[in-house]
Amino acid sequence: MPGLSIQQQISLLYKQQSRRILATLIRLLGDFELAEEAMQEAFSAALKQWPAEGIPEKPRAWLISAGRFKAIDRLRKLKRQAAWADEFIEHTGDSFSLSTQDIDDDQLRLIFTCCHPALPEDARVALTLREVCGLTTEQVASAFLLKPTAIAQRIVRAKRKIREAGIPYEVPEKKQLPQRLNTVLQVIYLVFNEGYCASSGDNLVNSALMDEAIHLTRQLSHLLNTTEINGLLALMLFQSSRRAARTNEQGKLLRLDQQDRSLWNNQQIKEADRLLQDILPKPDMGPYTIQAAIAGLHADAPHYKDTNWREILAFYDLLIRIQNTPVVALNRAVALSMAFGPEEGLKAIKQLNHSGVLDNYHLLHASQADLHRQLKQFNQAAACYRRAIELSEQSAERHYLQQQLDKLNKP
């Protein structure tokens, strides 16, 4: 990485590789907290040693080895060692070997561990997002539309269950994979979404999270080649292809109709199209494949005005039959408005909003605001924009929504 200081290279390594390093340390140490502390100590050691000694040939393996030995030293220094600590030290010894493939596989091992059927489903997703993918408790809570304290409790209980039940750190046999696959795919897609549109902070896009989700899905496709795995990969590639065009030079959000499509990544679009062509006719296609078809219609339209909204709406009608969630219903309502006018979209959103499930979801109010604006119902639009701004924790989104609100107030 020419031009970067050693400290900057270590920082970049932490950003790009820390979750993979942590996954390996959790497997080696068998304990989440111990592995987290060991990883932090390993990076601290790197900051002290590498400026003088140089960056090792295999920095990731060095950090894993250093973290492991830091953990062993910590256990040896305990005045009162538990029996499991003695067994751990005896079992691990003072030497071990680690291949690049071992490290890459460890993330999948840990994901499948966190998604074990013995854990409640909501705890599986929360734990994996927090520990495997590095999302903060607040980010995980945003994905669930819940409070951080509730998510933190789920994560603590799940860790305890893994430790007490002795759930193994392994990728299950192929015959056991299907029962865990849906949760694994859900986790990976939530990670991608956090990268595609960060729930908080100053930056709309977190490319590292998006790339990590795509990497994990590719690994899964090598392990188990199913329609939905390839559908998820196609969906993420279509969405990832737009990342360079989603903000302007100042980091401000650009809507789909404002984006420069020449900046879209054609290589990713072509790969996604090939995947979709292979899987779309299959009878076992699920929600990710259908969403990929929707994303493909956006990606393949030469201009925004050429978007086939009626076909997109047809796919949403199919999607809602198998995944009737409030967010899917909201997206369908937006597609309905594009196909048949803002009045129809508003009717659908009002019906959806009777349940109150999305009261604190900023995109519901942003969608309502835009439809009211199109109908020149400016007072209603302004109220919805203000509510969306109040609920959004993302700087780029808030700035965009404020811009729209300001335009309403101009003569």
pLDDT digits (tens, 9 = 90+) for 311-367: 999 999 999 999 999 999 999 999 999 999 999 999 999 888 777 788 889 999 999
What pLDDT, on the 0 to 100 scale, is given for residue 33? 82
β-pairing, 200-201 vs 393-394, is parallel
Q: From the CB of residue 243, how many other CB atoms can be counted at a distance below 10 Å?
A: 20
Comparing CA positions, the residue from 148, 248, 135 lying closest to residue 201 is: 135
Greatest distance between any 2 Cα atoms in the chain: 77
Pinpoint the residues of the chain covered by CATH 1.10.1740.
Answer: 1-98
Structure tokens at 386: 């203000």
Which class is domain 1-98? mainly alpha
Q: Is 8 helix (H, G, I), strand (E, B) or coil?
A: helix
How far is Cα 363 from Cα 369, in angstroms, rounded to an integer?
10
What pLDDT, on the 0 to 100 scale, is given for residue 310? 97
Q: Which has the minimum average pLDDT: 123-137, 158-172, 196-210, 273-287?
A: 196-210
What pLDDT, on the 0 to 100 scale, is given for residue 147? 84
Structure tokens at 57: 């040939």
CB 326 within 8 A of CB 355: yes
Cα separations (Å) of 174 from 115, 119, 219?
15, 20, 14
Segment 362-388, tens digit of pLDDT: 999 999 999 999 999 999 999 999 999
Structure tokens at 224: 């188990």
Segment 246-300, tens digit of pLDDT: 988 887 888 899 999 999 999 999 999 999 999 987 777 899 999 999 999 999 9
Share the mean pLDDT of the chain.
Answer: 85
Task: Report residue 99's pLDDT band, with 50, 70 and 90 as the boundaries.
Answer: very low
Q: What b/e readout covers 158-175, taking b as 16+ CB neighbours within 10 angstroms?
A: bbebbeeeebebebbeee
